Amino acid sequence: MTFTPSKETYTGKVYPVSVGTAPHEVVFGGENILPFHTFEGSSPNRPLIAHEIQDVPPYDWPEYLQKPFQDVSNDPVSWAKFCQETLGAGAIALRLIGTHPDRENRSPEDAAKTVKEVLSSITIPCIILGSNHTEKDSAVLIAAAEAAKDRNCILGKAQEANYKTIAAAAMANNHKLIAMSELDINLSKQLNILLTQMGFDKERIITDPMSSALGYGLEYTYSVMERIRLAALTQNDATMQQPILADVGLYVWKVKETQASENDVPQWGSLEERGIAWEAMTATAFLLSGAGFLIMRHPKAIEAVGKIIDELI
């Protein structure tokens, strides 16, 4: 007997968002269905995975996560080229963590120089991220946006405390924008409304409701992302129809399961395999909850998630 799945029809649609410049421009979002329900409607664009790099060596990453990049991670240009040319990355996420006051406290001018050098070395799209210090990011991301003018990057993250300055910089320099709120659908909706009220095009926003790692609040994050996507599709809520970002690597690679040695917890098995699986499983969960854009770190985890996407679509 042939199985015929029941079908739902949705009134809403996720906005498609492009990043990068022709002929290497990439589009994600644009679906009018729940994740991977291609039997119900259209999902024209593949979820985007960006390989994370940093402006400073990632000394706080686990040793086995640093290892694939050990020959290039002391130079963001070499690191970006390695991701594009050797790993086949579809996009780069440059995190300017070195600008944080508690790290190297690099200046906005230093950040702009790094952005220019990285962009000149790659052809694939680039996501430019601050250090998540709201006050410092305001100055850093203005400089970064100007350095990347007309390269159609994604700039982030704009938060309630600094969204006006970062959004203005993104608008003036023709970039998209990540709007981050703290695990609350109402806060996410409110920030999107505030951005559009200041003139930012709602179809140029990516929603980041914050992420978490498997075992560390993933269920709650999943439910928030799922509610955002349901509001977009079933309620046709234009303030919730932006693609969703899951910043996976940032949250996964600091939890105990990706850090604890095999000597401390031998029953957990290989530390490297465990960490890769933790990132891949976290990313997969967020894909199923509605995320269409992931930022990840380990090449093997990225490869595994790419295969899962292939199978699901």
- What would the pLDDT profile of 237-260 be if each residue is shown by its tens digit? 999 999 999 999 999 999 999 999
Percent of the chain residues topping a pLDDT of 70? 100
- Cβ distance 305 to 287 under 8 Å? yes
Global confidence as pTM: 0.96
Average pLDDT over all residues of the chain: 96
Query: Which letter does DSSP use for residue 194 in this model?
Result: H
Percent of the chain residues topping a pLDDT of 90? 96
Residues with Cβ within 8 Å of residue 70, at least 6 apart in sequence: none
Architecture of the domain defined by 47-312: Alpha-Beta Barrel (3.20)
> Residue range 262-289: average pLDDT?
96
Separation between Cα atoms, residue 33 and residue 26, nearest integer Å: 20
The alpha carbon dihedral of 232, 193, 133, 56 has a sign of positive
Residue 265's pLDDT is: 95
**163: number of Cβ within 10 Å:** 22
